[in-house]
Structure 1
Amino acid sequence: MTRDATKGAPGEDAVGLPVIDVGPLVSGIGDRVLVAAAIGRACREHGFFYVVGHGVDAGLLRRLEQLGRRFFALPAEQKEAIRMERGGRAWRGYFGVGGELTSGRPDLKEGLYFGAELPEDHPRVRAGVPLHGKNLFPSAVPDLRGAVLETIAAMTRVGHAIMEGIALSLGLDARYFAERYTGEPLVLFRLFNYPPAPPSAAQEPSWGVGEHTDYGLLTLLWQDDAGGLQVKSGTRWLEAPPIPGSFVCNIGDMLDRMTRGRYRSTPHRVVNAAGRDRLSFPFFFDPDWDAEVRPIEAFVEVLDDHEERWDQASVHEFRGTYGDYLLGKVSKVFPELRRDVLP
């Protein structure tokens, strides 16, 4: 059901991230309890694991990779035609290299932001709720629209399945999260392109994205064969290289909060040392915008690691809806956009 993969960072002992076949959760055929137990161990020990048996069509992902590379190879003016400022409060579209900040520092990547495709008459769109609305797609790569929306739908199904496994791993009913938080999940999808890191005499590398944790419940990441993802384990950084046919899965701040620190959101970062462009597709499966995120009642003691966290912030002190939490985070990532589109 599981196996180990990955090698430790240079100079470190080899430490594996588990590879978990989630087929029984996706199909309903097989031992779901055994899979859930493996997920629970991974969440407690690493906060990261690889997912296989997910059922997402490999041909769809290959097509999306080809289309993504076509988009990022376009002239700058064609990419800027769908820049994020044109997405308004929906927070969708393109940003150039250095346009996104992590811990106040520009990331060495460019990207496309997508989310659930909502019509103009949707109540939240009419109300101007941030991160809700229509996507922006490039006219120069017309097939990208269908591939993105099909991928979002497929990965949403996987997200629901894995969250059932997480619920079972915590001794809860399989529908615990769906009934409270993810009946209508907030789903966000990104296409990222990381150019090669420039040679530098400084000791600090040029990070594609700096150290951070994810905000919500669950992230599923497809990555090409360039490598570069690193996961923090204690004081060490472990490489999480691509495994064909897999997604890298990690848990976010809200699951950390719900479990009072038993399942921790793990810091990670990216440096592209491959000497060529690196492509990745992170998919975020998060609570509904209006959901008030609360700890699971069975857990009383808080295992708070804020002193060791990259931002020194405690996810356990937060009070409010997931929308409140997310907006506070992403508005720091795009400060100029925040001034233009937020109330």
Structure 2
Amino acid sequence: MYSSSSSPDKDENDLKVSESTYKLPIIDLKSFKSGEDREKVAKEINDACKRHGFFYIAGHGIEEELIDRLDSVSRQFFALDEQEKLKIRMELGGSAWRGYFPLGGELTSNRPDWKEGLYFGTELQDTHPLVVSKTPVHGRNLFPDESMVPTMSQIVLEYIEKVTQLGHVVMEAIALSLGVPSDYFYSLYTQDPLILFRIFNYRSQVIPDGMDVRWGVGEHTDYGLLTILYQDDIGGLQVKVGGEGWIKAPPIKNTFVCNIGDMLDRMTGGLYKSTPHRVALNTSGRHRLSFPLFFDPNFFTQVQPIDGISIGQDDSHQRWDKSNVHEFQGTYGDYLINKVSQVFPQLKQNINNTQQQRSE
């Protein structure tokens, strides 16, 4: 996930994770998708979002066979020599923000996260108007050569398509949980959502001397509406739940982990808060894969509070990043680029260079 962490001074106090029996809820979407009991599922989501902003979903309809194929080609890619992986490095994606970053290449409060990864998104051809106008985070994906990792492009694009469809279903349930029409988010924000998909590899190995690494990913919240995460069997995700501190969110077979982001926090006036989370260092002896897909508002939309919900109070003193999502003015794209530039400073430079070229 793209992230920025809390103050480094707090890291030593964050090392303890609750071993309590506290569990995040599992919500079965089957009855919602069939239309049999939409109200029950909406109520469960309302409770989960109010209490902790995280929940598992079962009955999602994503074939296990597709996930297995995605896992297989991802491991093939990360097993390549570094020079092969760097042939699709993110610098080649420019402001489209696609491609590979090496181990330690993503920053959290100026500290490297102990992972490597691939960045993807909705596939747009070079002739698409948004690409022609050089809109940030829009463009073609970078894939390894077919001779190195056969079928990876087809599998990734199929996965993005199907999980995006799932995102629409979950957002319908969230809309009903808030007492607004089921198409509320679709009609205002997600008819053409911004979809960003990541494949992260958390290596299990000794960190070199001199590298100031504390986490697989440091404490952060997600920026948009909804994150849909599939994690392999190793685990490492930790969630900060009020009153309980840090708890584990272990892998549960045939489920995804969902969490709400800053824009849903903003829309609901803080009723549904975006919850801090992080990933522990991987010490399992095996590489750990995770697959987060970010289902976010359209890049150009102005995100506003839901009618009838008051603007949230300034809670920046309680937030990990000391920011106030309720005061932000601008489009979702403005918010995203500002946040992401703290993780990948080069992206902001690419965008500035592009804008300068357009004005010349």
**TM score, norm. by length of structure 1:** 0.93
Residues 192 and 316 of structure 1: is their aligned pair in 2 closer, same or farther, counting only changes over 3 Å?
Answer: same
Aligned to 2:307: 297
Percent sequence identity over matched residues? 56
Shift of 1:11: 5.0
Distance (whole Å) between structure 2 residues aligned to residue 262 and residue 212 of structure 1: 19
* Counterparts of residues 48-63 of structure 1 (less than 5 Å): 48-63=54-69
Match of 2:234 among 217, 226, 233: 226
Distance (whole Å) between structure 2 residues aligned to residue 129 and residue 177 of structure 1: 23
What residue ranges of structure 2 are gaps of 5+ in the alignment? 1-15, 356-360
Distance (whole Å) between structure 1 residues aligned to residue 220 and residue 277 of structure 2: 6
Shift of 1:77: 0.6
Q: Residue 271 of structure 2 aligns to which amino acid in structure 1?
A: R
Aligned to 2:37: 31
Aligned to 1:142: 150
Q: Is the 8 A contact 2:97 2:136 kept in 1?
A: yes
Residues 242 and 170 of structure 1: is their aligned pair in 2 closer, same or farther, counting only changes over 3 Å?
Answer: same
Aligned to 2:3: none
Q: Residue 284 of structure 2 aligns to which amino acid in structure 1?
A: A
- Give the match's secondary structure for 2:84: helix
Residues 301 and 181 of structure 1: is their aligned pair in 2 closer, same or farther, counting only changes over 3 Å?
Answer: closer
- Give the match's secondary structure for 1:314: coil
- Give the match's secondary structure for 1:81: helix
Distance (whole Å) between structure 2 residues aligned to residue 261 and residue 147 of structure 1: 37
Aligned to 2:76: 70
Match of 1:133 among 139, 145, 148: 139
* Counterparts of residues 199-210 of structure 1 (less than 5 Å): 206-210=214-218
Offset from partner CA, 1:153-179 (integer Å, 9 cap, x none): 000111000000000000000000000
Q: Is the 8 A contact 1:188 1:284 kept in 2?
A: yes
Offset from partner CA, 1:261-311 (integer Å, 9 cap, x none): 000000000012323211000000000001100011211152443211111
Shift of 1:121: 1.4
Shift of 1:122: 1.0
Offset from partner CA, 1:179-211 (integer Å, 9 cap, x none): 000010000100000012637999x97301000
Shift of 1:23: 1.9
Aligned to 2:224: 216
Aligned to 2:202: 194
Distance (whole Å) between structure 2 residues aligned to residue 297 and residue 253 of structure 1: 18
Distance (whole Å) between structure 2 residues aligned to residue 128 and residue 245 of structure 1: 38
Aligned to 1:3: none
Is 1:237–2:246 an aligned residue pair?
Answer: yes
Is 1:47–2:57 an aligned residue pair?
Answer: no
- Give the match's secondary structure for 1:192: strand
Match of 2:324 among 309, 314, 334: 314
Offset from partner CA, 1:57-104 (integer Å, 9 cap, x none): 110000100110000000001100000011111110000011111222
- Give the match's secondary structure for 1:17: coil
* Counterparts of residues 80-229 of structure 1 (less than 5 Å): 80-139=86-145, 140-196=148-204, 198=206, 206-229=214-237
What residue ranges of structure 1 are gaps of 5+ in the alignment? 1-8
Shift of 1:29: 3.2
Shift of 1:340: 3.2
Q: Which moved more, 1:135-144 or 1:210-219?
A: 135-144
Q: Whose relative contact order is higher, 1 or 2, with alpha carbons under 8 Å and at least 6 apart?
A: 2
Q: Is the 8 A contact 1:190 1:283 kept in 2?
A: yes
**TM score, norm. by length of structure 2:** 0.89
Aligned to 1:6: none
- Give the match's secondary structure for 1:306: coil
Offset from partner CA, 1:23-81 (integer Å, 9 cap, x none): 233x3332111101101100000100001101011100001001100000000011000
Aligned to 1:4: none
Distance (whole Å) between structure 1 residues aligned to residue 167 and residue 26 of structure 2: 16
Q: Is the 8 A contact 1:228 1:273 kept in 2?
A: no
Aligned to 1:270: 279
Residues 318 and 67 of structure 1: is their aligned pair in 2 closer, same or farther, counting only changes over 3 Å?
Answer: same
- Give the match's secondary structure for 1:317: coil
Q: Residue 331 of structure 2 aligns to which amino acid in structure 1?
A: T
